[in-house]
Structure 1
């Protein structure tokens, strides 16, 4: 079945309405869990483990999960993933009702939810080009970024109100309802079926995951962009973790000051997302990413050279970085979506996400040692330099600079597909 111009918007916004509700309820729960673990344990180690449980399964399992996304019905996978996430959360509701909501159970549930997200997120990204016309992918990505930024702005406030007046079990139950609403909107949405190879024998994870890497490797421009994005992640993941420390330690502020910076950043993301959704980016989308890198690098450099009385300039720089962020992520995903055939998107998107996620701990480890010795404020110019390096590499490497050329990439995909077919016959 083909999605026509007259109904693609209805399908896209039906899915994203459900996803926005689920995303918002999950964000509220995330803040509530952090506060709960802080109140109950007061342990930085427990909070670090909780953070690792949130993204490490996605990074480790991504290359293999993409095999299932490309082989089986993507709509069904998203529904099952949402049901798994809601079921895991419901276990915490039941445990809370019996007074047995332990830290260990919360960590296990966070891991299960992360596994569900590892299937759901790349699957949703792979489905989007099946619904949305290619020339609208960037705008729709801008809408998605806007919804995410609204969630980032409102969820801490709502979480604070609910945490003060409800039990944690009540907040968890709210997230269960959000996940079930996401399942409902997926159920009533029309998603074209790909000719996926469900009957082509047993799943061979290693071989099929390798095929996804071969497809990504053949498109040298997109592979280069994925690796450059890892440099970006090495810079930004520690930076996001250090912003509260800068607000409260370096600038001698309070948790209120830290919240102000987070909200200012989210407002910037919202503004940038709305501009991207309206504008759509430059004709060669790689130059939009380049602009994002340059603006972000400038903001980080300024953050790192401020005196201890420069908190409000620090907050304004957070807005600037927030504005620039959607012009990177809001373009990066559509570039991947439009450069590869739909039947390979699950593996390509999962693999690229894993590469980025696994580079994060490298940045956290290096930055943690560096800031202990040199001071947290010294990290920000380093982060700015890394993002500037990403911008320079984007310009200097010709295949990356010119990777926004769908025809060439599809020809390369056809070539590697022929090679894969030959390998299968040989086996």
Structure 2
């Protein structure tokens, strides 16, 4: 078949609409990241435990609410779910503006993230409905680019707004973004609710919930991809909170810290773009993911050695290293999204997305505590070196698995 033109998927109106919905929604999700902490620390003068509680409220719904609501997501019209969750999130964002204290704010954070944990599996399923099979690799790479760009730019924009106004104004801007996404969703077509062929109508909620777990257990490609990604997320969050002290150890100042963060993000965006441009990885995405872990680990060892004086103060050297780490890191997430959509029957996509996100979120909650303990006991360099070795081991072990030779089967559709 003739190769598809890179990102020609944007010629499809329904995908363009869903793309802009994701951009607005994702930007809204990350815009208040700094504002919440600023409100807690500077406006209310609370201690670090309050900031930690806010982080827990941001992750907990992905672990609990997402999986429990996944059957409901698969049973319902995805367009209506997207519209409902976005409308309520707009109201919650405005509610942040009027939050009188910490407990109300924590409740609002939990509610907003609960809605996000429902929105994302529904968006993934909606994308699967409007994207033809041949364009799934492009859709996965574009989705990853949106996530990477908004994770970088939204907090920066939020920080800029904080410099000019109080945190409450950031929350109002966030509400406007959700409102815009809400209005845009009405341009989406009706999305058919997919059902498994010959499935009895009397199947209970718990039986349907277990159906998702059964698929993960029985599908080696899908289960391997989920576990590689979840373990990788755990490793990433071992060190993710320590880039500021790392910059000091590398002999860089506050400006250098910002530049390195930007290099990491720019590398991630470039990697997602390259995955959309060069699609050979589709022949064996698991192998591609595994090789990416080994390369990431190798470069992470260089970062750990920087704590011992390697290239001390050499900003250009570290820009290149962090850009490569960000670029190679995409060798995990784009193929993972592709495997998730190609290996999951459409009527189960909400459940599988929610389950995998729950595992990753649980890892993200535990890892910073372990990383902080390692840094306290053995020094900052140990966190990065242990993470590097873990990446290399993970990649090597997954490359050695027999199911890495398996290629995703033709996409199974519900009838």
The two structures have a TM-score, normalised by structure 2, of 0.89
- Rounded to whole Å, the distance in 2 between the matches of 1:15 and 1:101 is 35
> Residue 73 of structure 2 aligns with which residue?
69
Deviation at 1:85, TM superposition (A): 1.3
> Residue 295 of structure 1 aligns with which residue?
295
> Residue 242 of structure 1 aligns with which residue?
242
Alignment of 1:87 with 2:73, yes or no, is: no
> Residue 406 of structure 1 aligns with which residue?
409
- Rounded to whole Å, the distance in 1 between the matches of 2:121 and 2:253 is 38
Alignment of 1:214 with 2:214, yes or no, is: yes
- Rounded to whole Å, the distance in 1 between the matches of 2:221 and 2:168 is 47
| Residues 1:144 and 1:221: Cα distance change in structure 2 (over 3 Å) | closer
1:298-337 matches, cutoff 5 A: 298-306=298-306, 307-308=308-309, 309-310=312-313, 312=315, 313-337=317-341
Contact conserved, 2:9 with 2:15, CA < 8 A, in 1? no
- Rounded to whole Å, the distance in 2 between the matches of 1:27 and 1:114 is 11
> Residue 132 of structure 1 aligns with which residue?
131
Contact conserved, 2:66 with 2:114, CA < 8 A, in 1? no
> Residue 230 of structure 1 aligns with which residue?
230
Q: Which moved more, 1:273-282 or 1:71-80?
A: 273-282
> Residue 3 of structure 2 aligns with which residue?
none
Contact conserved, 1:293 with 1:388, CA < 8 A, in 2? yes
> Residue 341 of structure 1 aligns with which residue?
345
Alignment partner of 1:194: what SS?
A: coil
1:10 to 4, 10, 13: 13
Contact conserved, 1:271 with 1:323, CA < 8 A, in 2? yes
| Residues 1:196 and 1:80: Cα distance change in structure 2 (over 3 Å) | farther
- Computed over aligned residues only, the root mean square deviation of the Cα atoms, in angstroms, reads 2.6
Alignment partner of 1:190: what SS?
A: coil
- Rounded to whole Å, the distance in 2 between the matches of 1:7 and 1:92 is 35
Alignment partner of 1:380: what SS?
A: helix
- Rounded to whole Å, the distance in 2 between the matches of 1:223 and 1:13 is 30
Q: Which moved more, 1:262-271 or 1:185-194?
A: 185-194
Alignment partner of 2:188: what SS?
A: coil
Q: Which moved more, 1:62-71 or 1:35-44?
A: 35-44
Contact conserved, 2:35 with 2:159, CA < 8 A, in 1? yes
| Residues 1:231 and 1:376: Cα distance change in structure 2 (over 3 Å) | same
Deviation at 1:235, TM superposition (A): 0.6
Note the alpha carbon deviations across 1:255-286, whole angstroms, 9 max, x for none. Answer: 43332221111111111122112223422222
Deviation at 1:171, TM superposition (A): 1.4
Contact conserved, 1:32 with 1:168, CA < 8 A, in 2? yes
| Residues 1:102 and 1:127: Cα distance change in structure 2 (over 3 Å) | same
Alignment of 1:267 with 2:266, yes or no, is: yes
Q: Which moved more, 1:268-277 or 1:308-317?
A: 308-317
Consecutive unaligned residues of structure 2, counting only runs of 5 or more, are: 1-7
- Rounded to whole Å, the distance in 2 between the matches of 1:49 and 1:216 is 32
The number of equivalent residue pairs is 400
- Rounded to whole Å, the distance in 2 between the matches of 1:6 and 1:361 is 36
Contact conserved, 1:22 with 1:175, CA < 8 A, in 2? no
Contact conserved, 1:149 with 1:270, CA < 8 A, in 2? yes
| Residues 1:116 and 1:403: Cα distance change in structure 2 (over 3 Å) | farther
- Rounded to whole Å, the distance in 2 between the matches of 1:211 and 1:15 is 28
| Residues 1:376 and 1:41: Cα distance change in structure 2 (over 3 Å) | farther
- Rounded to whole Å, the distance in 1 between the matches of 2:285 and 2:12 is 23
Q: Which moved more, 1:15-24 or 1:69-78?
A: 15-24
| Residues 1:113 and 1:397: Cα distance change in structure 2 (over 3 Å) | same
Note the alpha carbon deviations across 1:155-197, whole angstroms, 9 max, x for none. Answer: 2432222112122222111111111111222211115303449
1:8-407 matches, cutoff 5 A: 9-39=12-42, 40-41=44-45, 43-93=47-97, 95=98, 101-196=100-195, 200=201, 204-248=204-248, 250-251=249-250, 253-282=252-281, 283-306=283-306, 307-308=308-309, 309-310=312-313, 312=315, 313-399=317-403, 401-407=404-410
> Residue 423 of structure 1 aligns with which residue?
none
- Rounded to whole Å, the distance in 1 between the matches of 2:353 and 2:22 is 19
Q: Which moved more, 1:6-15 or 1:318-327?
A: 6-15
Contact conserved, 2:32 with 2:155, CA < 8 A, in 1? no
| Residues 1:195 and 1:234: Cα distance change in structure 2 (over 3 Å) | closer
- Rounded to whole Å, the distance in 2 between the matches of 1:303 and 1:127 is 40
The two structures have a TM-score, normalised by structure 1, of 0.86
- Rounded to whole Å, the distance in 1 between the matches of 2:267 and 2:9 is 33
Q: Which moved more, 1:146-155 or 1:60-69?
A: 146-155
Q: Which moved more, 1:141-150 or 1:317-326?
A: 141-150
Consecutive unaligned residues of structure 1, counting only runs of 5 or more, are: 418-427
Deviation at 1:252, TM superposition (A): 5.6
